[in-house]
Structure 1
Amino acid sequence: MTSKSFRRLVVAGAVLTTTIVGLTGCVAGQTAPDESATSELRIAVPSYPGSWDQDFVAFDPVALALFKNVYPYLTDYGVTDVAGGQILDTENILPAWAESFTSEDGKLWTLTLREDATFPSGNPITADDVKWSKDRAFAAQANVAGVYSLIGLTDPEQIQVVDERTVTFDQAYPSALTPQIQAISLFVYDSVLMKEHATADDPWAQDWAAQNPSDGGLYNVEEFTPGQEIVLKANKDYPAEDGPLTDTIRLTVVSDPAAESVLLQNGDVDIALGLGRQQIADLEGTAGVEIISAPSNEMIYIPLDTAVAPFDDPLVRQAVAYAMPYDEIISTVYGGDARRPLSIVPIDMPGYSEDGFPYDQDVDQAKALLAQAGVSDLSVDLAYQAESDEQEQIAILVQDALAEVGITVTPTPLDPAALGARRDAKDLAMQIASGQQWVNDVEYLMNGWTTGAYLNYANYSNATVDADVEASHTLTDPAEREALWAEVQKQFATDVPVIPLAQPNYNLPVRDTVSGFVQPVDGLLRMKYLTID
């Protein structure tokens, strides 16, 4: 086995500009397939999409990655070359079915669609489709509605049709997040087709959309057999210059990881999605297989429940931070294929500061802080996701390390349903968690750590942090934002509601005939750049 490594890539950040899309762009040396292209890329996936409806789908990595490739998105990230590899460029938002998306003040944005844009049905893509799609999103009060609230879009009346090709988005305030939020939210449905399948009881055609693909993006869905296979065809009408490079992509559901590995080894598939870290490592030495390894912003971390004793004392939380076996986790669990973040903000995210977590393993310092807090003979359960070899290994290493400072840790595996329920109830004193940031911005991340936030597993509440995050919503100057986030990270370093452990690299096992990989900042593989020799 050989490894394609991008090493320490630097992910560019979002900066508010008055025009984020204009002319189309492309990756150097790449052109869209011509009409005679016949290449086929075969991808094994661990599951069939739980739903074809992006407005209502729950967290489903296969479905969400598929949607990025088949839904008609109006804008998306560009690509940049860094350290010998290519990554999605969050500073460079390119048009797809949009001709432009502009603003004079960062508050009122004008979207202009391309002329002669059509859905696979033959229906034109119009401003009415955009309006209907976003009205549907607000009605769903789920995915898009949630992230739109971060940029001051909370009411469908803020989105208005100007003419057949023009839509305005009137935010409550200017936001530096707008370019990236819209890059993940500006997809549209064929509203004419959807209305044909709507009923009085189901005005948004949710039942029909869950079972039938919405396509017209980079790829169209040519065939689909529920639970088994999906065949995608490059959309010849796709307007951007960096359109799909492979004509056909065949996604085959292989629920057994061992069977998926065998298919890759035998050359029966070209890419194996969904394999665990150990399963990928086991492919080492296999002829014809390569492991693409590129830095990601996925964070592995331990939240401590700041609302219950003894973790309501910051001295105890600081002691636990000093006791953690950071280097051993990276070397043992990840085989060195991870980086250690020195902040709850991921490495490479604009605003990341190494002052955000000034803790190295120091047993003596941990013992001294526990003594200062008057805590001894502490016992705590460490919850983690059952059947995750990675998290189980981390739990055992943490158990051993904390025993050295007098803390008894009991690793406690919980199945996904039980873990989710206890997280909802916020009654886990200590747990292992992970997160992938879809928006490469500290403001987006910190919204999850304000008082009462859904993902605030630590029950963390700090009035200064809450005020800073609230102030950030209308702050667009990059220098001012960076200064604000530096202060927030210093506060986290003092309060230690969460202990960042590692940022494992994104690993993708492929046949050595596959090329064109672009590191997805959001973890959702962009198939359009992939080619097969």
Structure 2
Amino acid sequence: MTNDLKTMDRRSFLNHSIGFTAALGTTSLGLSLAASGPAQAQTKPLVIAAPATPQSLDTEFDGSLGTLDMIGCLYDSLVAFETIPDPDIEGVLREDVADYPHLPGGLKLKGKLAEKWAVAEDGTWAEFDLRQGVMSNWGNELTAADVVWTWERKFALGAIGGFFTKLLGMSGPENVAAVDKYKVRFTLPQANPLLMKLQVNLYNNILDSTKCKEMATADDPWARDFLANESAGFGPYKLAQLVRGQQAMLVGREDYWGGAPAITQVVYKEVPTSATRASLVQGGAVDIALVLQPLEIEQLQKATGVSVASIKASPMFWAELNTKFEPFDKIEVRQAMNYAFPKEQVLETIYRGTATLMDGPMPSIYPGFKPTAQYKQDLEKAKALLAEAGLPEGFSSTLAYNAGDPIQEPMAILYQTALREIGVEISLKKIPAGTYFNEVSGRTQPIIFFTDTPWCPDPGYSIQLYFDSGTFSNYGNYKNDRVDELLIQASKTADNAARFEMMAEAEKIIGEEAPWVFISYPNFTVNMRSNVKGMTYYTSNNLRFQDFTYG
């Protein structure tokens, strides 16, 4: 990386990186780079520097950063949360995920592909009246058959969509039926409070079944090959180019039901090094730089021409304490591990203002959150807890971390140093990024750093995702019979007041039993040129390019 990138102009960067001019030439896509000048401002491409391009565009099988950003622009869901101004950052909106008991489903929603809906008070059914005349990027009209086929695909493939069907307690594809051409009905075997909340999920978009069926084959009846590399949806953009490892390009749809997006061309470029991404946005060669290190963010906050939005968000960062490994089967030991962690030091020296203290087992921005894990560093208390557990001289163990995340190694070293003061000696194990998740999901390590986000802003969803003893993502093998019982009870009632009370009890138990070292709530940070306006925060932690304009 040279200083040239800091001053490289926009056109120079684009022309020198992966043949951009040829890709956008009028002979290939009918597009061209806008000439500079006020009259052309709305047609210049929005250029994003990201760590990676999408690996797949199929929401059944890929949840990587690049994929998330593409899905929210290529597809639409039936409904969406209303938005409200962010209370901390001027000019930024965020989803209104609060509980509204007087509204259908307890949510403040706006229509997307559905213009009207009705929900049973007990959460056993919901009906959606679809907008008429909505066309896909392939020119096929939206009908109830598209919604039905989309859910049939979830059942058939049983991947991410299969997780949704299980959460809703669905018995089979027959739970989603077309009432008529433009009306679809969801009917569940029993009440379920997540029926409407899951309709908002980024990965509950609706597919153009006509196009998918056209591209299906006998060996691939659900068009997996096609949807991995193309889109078939009703969103505001269509895919113009995808060259993995280089860039993805989107074009705004003039026939989009909600009106053409303000920015009609988007270029999503793979720039693997965060320092390079930071320099590019500072120099003006790109409009948005994603996933930067805290020190780089701090420096950009002082830079001319750059706007940094660091937003309180849903991601969580913790250390799994695997209860199948001694001595982490003991509650007192897990509590001691929490009291030993140097949280304030980590927040100050590593996160540098881009995270807040984690004090509960779910995102603090979600309704139903209770601060039940209020551990701050107290080494004397940690020593006393180890003595209570029969380990007054401490013990030895191993802490694993992701080599691909630069903040994890210095954090591990700080923790290792603090633990020595209470007699606990941990060796550090650096896991290559390519195999890191296998170690997490395989539950192979006694302690391992992990970061994740429950996309559904609901306490029952969040707690079940990580602490139900039978769920796949309970990576620490935590089990508490009362927590399991509370989750079952909460899944069967649409009474949010009762559900939140149950989940408050579950949060209290989890906070006390400390199956995690509760570390931080990292902010969702977007680094933009100052003329980029319209940022909206979504709990799925992705961008929607249709929100942005040039100011």
Q: TM-score, normalised by structure 2?
A: 0.85
How far off is 1:239 after superposition? 3.1
User: Cα deviation per residue 1:287-340 (whole Å; 9 max; x = unaligned)?
Assistant: 322221111121111121112211111111122222121111111111132111
Deviation at 1:227, TM superposition (A): 4.1
Deviation at 1:530, TM superposition (A): 1.1
Is 2:484 the partner of 1:477? no
Match of 1:313 among 306, 327, 330: 330
Alpha-carbon distance, 1:225 to partner: 4.4
Match of 1:391 in 2: 408
Q: Is the 8 A contact 2:207 2:234 kept in 1?
A: no
Residues 95-494 of structure 1 aligned to structure 2 (within 5 Å)? 95-105=111-121, 106-184=123-201, 185-240=203-258, 244-354=261-371, 356-375=372-391, 376-448=393-465, 449-494=467-512
**Structure 2 residue aligned with 1:68:** 72
- AA aligned opposite 1:473: S
Structure 2 CA distance for aligned equivalents of residues 102 and 157 of structure 1: 19
1:40 maps to 45
Deviates more, 1:443-452 or 1:210-219: 210-219
Partners of 1:297 and 1:421 lie apart in 2 by 23
- Shift in Å, 1:214: 2.4
Deviation digits for residues 233-289 of structure 1 (CA, Å, limit 9, x no counterpart): 333333348x73323222223334343333222212111123333443453543322
Does 270-279 or 131-140 show the bigger shift?
A: 270-279
Q: Kindly state the Cα deviation for residue 479 of structure 1 after the two structures are TM-superposed.
A: 1.7
Corresponding position: 1:54 with 2:66: no
Unpaired segments ≥5 residues, structure 1? 1-35
CA distance in 1, matches of 2:84, 2:361: 25
Letter in 1 for 2:56: S
Distance of 1:437 and 1:530 partners within structure 2: 25
Per the alignment, do residues 101 and 507 of structure 1 end up closer, same or farther by CA in structure 2, a change over 3 Å counting? same
CA deviation profile, 1:147-169 (whole Å, cap 9, x unmatched): 23212224111111111111111
**8 Å contact from structure 1 (residues 69, 218) kept in 2:** yes
CA contact (8 A) 1:39 1:532 kept: no
The one-letter amino acid of 2:389's match is A
1:522 aligns with 2:540: yes
User: Tell me, which stretches of 5 or more residues in structure 2 are unaligned?
Assistant: 1-40, 98-106
Match of 1:21 in 2: none
Per-residue deviation at 1:385?
0.4
* Counterpart secondary structure, 2:108: strand
SS at match of 1:232: strand
Distance change (3 Å), C-alpha of 1:111 and 1:417: same
The count of corresponding residues between Structure 1 and Structure 2 is 497
Contact 1:264 1:271 in 2 (8 A): yes
Identity level (%): 30
The alpha-carbon deviation at position 37 of structure 1 amounts to 5.5
1:227/1:426 Cα in 2 relative to 1: closer, same or farther (>3 Å)? Answer: closer
CA RMSD of aligned residues (A): 2.2
Q: Which amino acid is the alignment partner of residue 352 of structure 1?
A: F
User: What are the Cα deviations for residues 437-491 of structure 1, in whole angstroms up to 9, with x where unaligned?
Assistant: 2111111111121113222121101111001011110122222122111111121
* Letter in structure 1 aligned against 2:49: A
Q: Is the alpha carbon distance of 1:55 and 1:48 closer, same or farther for their aligned partners in structure 2, counting shifts above 3 Å?
A: same
> Residue 517 of structure 1: CA displacement?
0.8
Secondary structure class of the residue paired with 1:392: helix
Answer yes or no: is the 8 Å Cα contact 2:52–2:65 preserved in 1: no
Instruction: Name which of structure 1's ranges 60-69 and 79-88 shifts more when overlaid on structure 2.
Output: 79-88
The separation in 2 between residues aligned to 1:466 and 1:506, in whole angstroms, is 31
Task: Write out per-residue CA displacement over residues 325-371 of structure 1, whole angstroms, 9 at most, x where no aligned residue.
Answer: 111111111113211122112212211112x1142221111111111
* Equivalent residue, structure 2, for 1:19: none
**Mapped contact 2:76–2:234 kept (Cα < 8 A):** yes
- 8 Å CA contact 1:145–1:154 kept in 2: the answer is no
